[in-house]
Structure formats: C-alpha cells, structure tokens
Amino acid sequence: MIGRITTIQRMSLHDGPGIRSTVFLKGCNMHCGWCHNPETLSMNPELEWIQQKCIGCNSCTEVCPTGAFSLKDGKPDFQKNLCTSCFDCLQVCYAEAINKIGREVTPEDVFTEVEQDFPFFSNSGGGVTISGGEPMLQPEFTKQTLALFKKAGIHTALDTNLSISWKQYEKVLPFTDLVLADLKMMDNALHQKWTGRHNTTILENIYKLDASGVPYFIRTPVVPDINDNEAEISAMAAFVASLKNVKNYELLPFHTLASCKYTNLKLKNPMGQTQDLSKERLERFQEIVKYTINHREKGGQTEDTE
C-alpha cells in the first residue's frame, strides 16, 4: 500500500491534544484561497525552488533538459510551466535550494518514522494526526496508517474537510480517536466560490459524525474579507451549538506565513494581499462563539433554574 505525502511534521502542537506528529498527505479536492499548505494541493510530486538558498553555481541550468532552469541576466531562474518533473536538477543542487515535494511511502514507513516520538506522545497525551491535503482522497492508505498506530496504542486523529462520501469515513472511523473537521462557512454559494465545492455534503457528514459517537472538534479558518464577519461566525457557532457530541470548536486565524511557500512553488497566491487576522478580531469572534454556544446550551437546559 503506497501513499503520497509531503512531510511528517514532528512536534506539531495544533493538530489535536499534546505533542503530535502530523502526516501531511498530498492532494486535495478543494482549492481554498487561503490554503496554508499549497504544496499539498496537487497529488503529483512537484519542485520547489528556494531562491535564498541558491548559491548561483548554475549546475541546474546545465542539466535541465527543458530550460525550466535557465539563466536570466546571468543568474539561474526557474519557470515552472516548462518543468516536466524529471528531477535531474535535484541531484546536482548541493545547496538544497531545489526540493522535491512529495514522496511515496507505505503505512509501515510512516509508522517507523513516527515511532521515535512515541515516548513524547505518552508523556504529553499526544499522538499522530493524518492531515493534508485531504487525507480521505487516499482512504485506504489513511485507514491502514491509522490502524497501525491504533494497534500500537497511539492516539490517532484525522484532519479532514468531511467532503468525501460518508461510506469512506465509515471505514476509517473505527481506527480514529479524534476527528478534526473543517467548517469553512455556512453560505453555500460563498463556500462554492472560495473552496471550489458546495458544503451540503460537509454539513450532512458533520451530523453523521455527531451521531457516530467518535469524539471530534470543529475548526474554522477565519480569513479576512471572506468569513471574518459576525453574521458568518454567528451562523457557524449556532450550527456547532446544535450538535450534541462536538468536543471543541476552534477558530484558526489566517496568517501570512505560508506566502513564501507560494513563491517557492511558483504558485499564484490568491491571498497575496491579505493581512494576518488581528488578535483583537480573533478575540471578538471567540467571544461571539462563546456567547452563541452558551446561550444555546442554556436555552436547551430549561430545567436548570440556577
């Protein structure tokens, strides 16, 4: 069984409880404009050029058969549209300015790589998280990987956009201790516009997940000028409040740290002009969420006469 991943990040602190290793699977069925991991969008291996690391030795321009690496004003330059991903240049770039993003691994490979951090997991209540991209585009690999860890007694989490057929989720949930489910916005038209897909399946799947008994968090990326308004946040909070078994609702502020990834991958950054979501605004939205959820809970608990 082979899966395509970009990387395994050690000491990930934002993908579930404790110290975790997060496995980023390559390939996504959405194309969210604010994506923080653009290197996971395409299923295929691709080339990244970190210009700051380039020492101008010109070895790449000498070997590149297509001219994707060529001299421009006497300096090496990379034109992605010419690149056929032969990776000849990778072999000659000693400066590690050229990287191949994407490698093929088996679930056992992942297990072996993560194994060294098991002692940190057990002391911190952490574990492994399968993320992406959208891991459920590789459901069998995801299932087998989760199963391996689960069998070893390691806490497992699945970070998914919940847009895939529920049948697939039914296969992986028995090996999943926690689901990190994305909820990007309630407005279906805007959802379609900004992610490339509608949210009907997602909302249905959240209800199914809620009924399944598997612990889960809902997480919303809050992006300036897209969903950072009170109406949208309140609507999502109200939806979350209507769920019975959700363990946590997190707002993830948009940040610009990923912009260099777009540059290195020669990808257009749809949010190139967007600023970080300010701390004040995030706190304001967190207040709204808190209020909405508390209000809703209180409303439900009519016998509580406190």
Partner 1 sequence: MENSFSYQSRIDHLRSRKFAQTREKIEVEGLLDEDDYGRVLPPANAWKSIPNHPDGSFYGLEGWTQNFCSLMDSHPVYVDPNDAFAGRWVYFMSRMRANKWNPNYPFDHLKENIEKYDIIAGIGDDAHFAPDYKLGLSLGWQGILDKIEHYRKINTSPEQIKFYDAHEQVVKSIQGWIERHIDLTEQRIQEETDPKLKANLEEMAETNRNIVSQAPQTLREAIQWIIWYHLASRTYNRDGAGGQIDEMLRPFYEKDLAEGRIDREKAVYMLACFMLNDTIYWQLGGPNKDGIDQTSEISFLILDAADKANCSINLTIRVHDGMNQELYDKSLYYLIKNKNAWPRYSGDKALVEGFMKNGFDAQLARQRIAVGCNWMSLPGLEYTMNDLVKVNMAKVFEVAYQEMMQDKSDKPSTERLWTIYTPHLAKAVRTAADGIRHQLKYQKYNEPELILNLLSHGPLERGLDVSDGGAEYYNLAIDGAGLAIVADSFAALQLRIEEEKKTSWEEVTYHLESDFEGIEGEKIRLLLKNSPRYGQGNSLGDQWAKKIGEEFTQLVRQESNPELRHTFIPGFFSWANTIGFGQHVGATPNGRKSKTPISHGANPCPGFSKDGASLALACAVAQIQPGFGNTAPMQWELDPTLATQDQAQLIGSIIKTHFELGGTLINVNIMDKDQILDAHKDPAKYPELVVRVTGFTAYFSMLTPEFRQLVVERILES
Rounded to a whole number of angstroms, the minimum distance from the CB of residue 8 to partner 1 is 9
Q: Do 38 and 265 touch, CB atoms closer than 8 A?
A: yes
Q: Is 153 in the site for partner 1 (CB under 8 A)?
A: no
Contacts with partner 1 by CB under 8 A: the residue count is 21
Name the token pair of 156. Answer: 């497992």
DSSP annotation of 39 = G
Nearest distance in Å: CB 297, partner 1: 24
Residue 56 binds partner 1 (CB under 8 A): yes
- Restricting to residues 69-108, name those near partner 1 by CB under 8 A: 94-96
Of 6-35, binders to partner 1 (CB under 8 A) are: 9-13, 18-19, 21
Q: Secondary structure of the chain: what % helix, strand, coil (to 5)?
A: 40, 20, 40
User: Does 175 sit near ligand SF4 (CB under 6 A)?
Assistant: no
| 139 touching partner 1, by CB under 8 A | no
Nearer to partner 1, 120 or 207 (CB): 120
**How far is residue 137 from each of residues 22, 157, 232, measured CA to CA in Å?**
17, 16, 28
Q: What is the DSSP string of 58-101?
A: -HHHHH-SSSSEEEETTEEEE-GGG-----HHHHH-TTS-EEEE
- Of 85, 123, 294, 301, the residue at the interface with partner 1 (CB under 8 A) is 123
Is residue 264 close enough to count as binding ligand SF4 by CB under 6 A? no
Report how far residue 273's alpha carbon sits from residue 241's, in angstroms, rounded to the nearest whole number: 33
Report if residue 235 touches ligand SF4, rule: CB under 6 A: no
- Residue 219: which region, alpha, beta or left (left: phi > 0; alpha: psi -120 to 50)? beta
Closest CB 206 distance from ligand SF4, rounded Å: 41
- What does 252 bind: ligand SF4, partner 1, none (CB cut-off 5 to 8 Å by kind)? none
Q: Which of 1, 13, 55, 211 binds ligand SF4 (CB under 6 A)?
A: 55
| Residue 59 in the binding site for ligand SF4 (CB under 6 A) | yes
Task: Give the integer Cα–Cα distance in Å for 245 and 208.
Answer: 11
69 binds ligand SF4 (CB under 6 A): yes
Range in contact with ligand SF4 (rule: CB under 6 A) among 5-13, 86-94, 202-210, 256-264 = 86-94
β-bridge pairing 98-101 and 75-78: unpaired
Among the listed residues 127, 197, 212, the one whose alpha carbon sits nearest the alpha carbon of residue 166: 212
Site string for ligand SF4, 24-53 (x = CB under 6 A): -----------------------x------
Quickly tell me which residue has 């321009």 as its tokens. 61
Q: Is 85 or 242 the residue whose CB approaches ligand SF4 more closely?
A: 85
H or E, element range at 190 = helix 188-195
CA distance linking residue 123 with residue 18, whole number of Å: 9
Is residue 59 near partner 1 by the rule CB under 8 A?
A: yes
Tell me the closest approach of the beta carbon of residue 21 to partner 1, in angstroms: 8
What is the total residue count of the chain?
306
Question: Is residue 57 a contact residue for partner 1 (CB under 8 A)?
Answer: yes
Q: Is 119 helix (H, G, I), strand (E, B) or coil?
A: helix
Structure tokens at 230: 């009170």
Give the interface with partner 1 as residue ranges (CB under 8 A). Answer: 9-13, 18-19, 21, 55-57, 59, 94-96, 116-117, 119-120, 123-124
